Chains A and B, each alone.
Chain A
Amino acid sequence: MHRPTRLKDAQAEESQFQLRLVIAYGFMVLMLLTLAARFIWLQVMQYEHFATLAQNNSISLVPVQPNRGLIMDRNGVVLAQNHAAYTLEITPAKMDDMEATIKALGSLVEITPRDDRRFRKFLAESKEFEPVPLKLKLSEEEAARIAANAWRFPGVEVKARLFRDYPYKELTSHVLGYIGRINQRDQQKLEEDDKLANYRGATHIGKLGLEAVYEAELHGTNGFEEVETDAGGRAVRSLRRTPPLHGNNLKLALDIRLQEVADKLFGQRRGALVAIDPQTGGVLAFVSKPGFDPNLFIDGIDSATWKSLNEDWQKPLVNRAVRGLYPPGSTFKPFMAMAALQSGAIGPYDLRPAPGFFTLPGSSHQFRDSNPRGNGMVNISKAIAVSSDTFFYRVAWDMGIDRIHPLVGQFGLGQKTGIDLDGEASGVLPSKEWKEKRFARFKPEVRRWYPADVVSVGIGQGFNAYTPLQMANATAILAADGKVFKPHLVQEITQAGSGKVRLVEPKPVRTLAFRPELYAHVKDGMVAVMRPGGTAARLAAGLTYTMAGKTGTAQVVQIKQGAKYNAAALAEQYRDHSWFIAFAPVEAPRIAIAVIVENAGFGAASAAPIARAVSDFALTGKVPAELQGKLITMPQPAQAGDKQDASAAR
């Protein structure tokens, strides 16, 4: 047998390969030419046909907006609602001369300089093909006038839209937040989350508060309508409709009447109040004063109003209840007492001296008591009742920060509570690691934890800083004997359509590991606060149920050694903050409250009366005397004459 040489083989292989290369290349060129031929057929020979089809493209998909979910209080009172109104909208892409059109429209309806400014702003932010509102909330008559002249203005439309409205304005500003027009940043965020399709045609989105946190629930799902359109793009006939799925309704744990009572009790003063149901973690009242009118933000706030709100020294835009950090002062003592008892640093019946000042061994620095004469020998309950500083200085010194931090931390102090609002601050429960990190850029002498640092921590001063929400939450945990809930404003979410109800955070997250009998000793102290000899004894007058509380005073400025605090001599902003925490009824707590009134001095003087009145209203329905007849959430108390009229009419 003759075998071909390797060389010949290689040559044959090479030429075979080159042949296949040419065939492959020829095939590809042929296929690309086929594509080219197809394009020529479509774009040259069939051009007229397709151009006409495009011109009259008669079927378009129009998104149908879902209605935003309502927000209601626990009794079904609507706090955020939608109502229909007409808007005048312009689509820039369909316009030959926009300025002329606007001028002509101005002769039919009044277009204020503010409307015009807002229109320009929206125009700059939107796309050519999107309708931009020129005037919002037309009257029926104005809408009719435009509609009658519609033929003169291609690209101008009167649309019925739903507007969001917050009827209780300032009362709900820090709870509900507000919605606002979708801006480029929102757009980008939606694009990243792959939600843009569901916002096609949508104009507003939740920006702050519950409106923002529950955006996914409230917004709903777009529907679509296939409509036949004429050459001008106007819808002629609806072909098929996929209805939108409306947003889900939210029901809050909050009672708007209690909210109003709490809010009005502050009067012109600044501060915050949070009331929580210790058995559910539901937030019953949530006040941050001053507030603002959220309705201003919905369709773009004008810059003058914005400036005045933003630059106001009282900071109405800041949500003090979740963002305000204050030293808790003596309201810290019940939690400190729990930690001391649990650690064994002191027994529940142990007596300790409570003199007028406390000094550390080998130091002359005096840590003073708020009572310069001291309180004699006291046990832990008495120490809470009279708010002995020296008692808690000593306990803190005996325990040391390493034992205090983990135990007090159990009550959620110095951590975010996880409430369903954005922008919550975490606060500071001091520890060695915290100080090291906080002062990382300073010299080692500053960063180091000194044993003496712990002393002022023991009475809630020093580095301690918490939000009013954290204090209310900690009080609720104490009231419920260690049962921890995640505080939540929203209690139920009602599915649109199916009406199915989902509960929000209804179960306790955990139960604290404190010995159960310890709570009673601390609660006894807090009950004694409101008994003769306690720091808020005056407040107990006329109580028809049992109440436990604790006063507190948060220092705003440091007082020099040997000097005396003199409220009158200090400018208002430097006066102490007034704190009060409370829960009631003591046997089966239904409300836990934390109140802070800024720059209002001693806790019993300003904060405590507010807590008492709020608790009264929540438990007995008693409206504080000074608010009788001034509340918008409650019908005016019926006069004797009215009653007669009513029965006569019947």
Chain B
Amino acid sequence: MKDRTGLTLSGAVSRRTLMMGATAGMAALAMPKVLRAQEKPTLVTSIRSLSNPYHAVWKTGAEAYAKWAGLEHVTLVSEGNSEKGIADIKAMLAKTGGNMVLNSDPNDTPDARPIVEACAKAGAYVVTQWNKPADLHPKDFNPNYVSHIEFDGIASGKTIAEILFKTIGGKGGIVALGGLISTTAAIERKKGLDAALAANPDIKLLDFQVANWKSTEAFDLMGNLLTRFGDDIKGIWAANDDMGSGALEALRAENLAGKVPIVGVDGIKTAVDAVRTGEFACTVTSDPFWQGGMGLAIGYNAKIGKFDPVKEPPEHREFYGKAVLISHDNVEEYYKTNVDAKPEIDWNDLWGRVTGAIRT
């Protein structure tokens, strides 16, 4: 199970990152106190809620970066209310006089525009993630609108499909559980699955069913699919981990858990645990810890002039981040660094996870 060399290596990387962090921290301390008080902007995170694990981890990442950079950090929570989200940001802009860096996951797509406009007007630097209207571009708000980050659903759907196919030996039947039909993520991830299927003619998609992102629906669906296809099902592709875990419980009720591999997206704890026990073949995560910290890092580095947003290439302004794959090979390491402890990320590596410009 455990990859000893991998673990040692990861330890070394962590120590190096830690030392770099310590050096930067000492450098910051060495600066005159008055200067710091004048120049240091406030870091602001704007997210939807703290009651879902995804945004809770996002906040941890943001706090880790703020601590590393030695900056003040404030978290604003919109509670799913767009107006509250925007009003809170405007209040923060007024309070800091525009001397702030905002990393925002706008509650809804249209929210991004008023947020960006308010920040540009006040002279603050902003990074948005996931949601923005298609006609809103960072380059139109130079230099304040630094970047917009998303994660490529097609790539996620394709990656997990390929790992599933490899796990079942490159041939046989699979069933797929899709998300709510109308959502972008569901459509994109299915496209990824279709692309992987096209490249692997020996894999047969027995059926594609929709379980609306929910484990409960996936549980019932999976039972029915087992009746229809029985032992022909060699693997299960799920558009998110929650549905995958529902399918897993349906398998468990039939003593099939671990015999039919499952793949999913999100990296929720249940799925990570299942990857460890071999019941899931893999899951991918956008890594909210990285999103929370790096969004602030990109904005802050633009603010202090480490780079000029105007001179950055388009794929640094609107880009897909690299999703983190959690599979049998790295799950123990992932568990150790992300579940048991806080992850170590090199906050100076601003563009390390850029996989390309966002498709238009």
Indicate, yes or no, whether A interacts with B: no
**B interface residues (Cβ-Cβ under 8 A, vs A):** none
**A interface residues (Cβ-Cβ under 8 A, vs B):** none
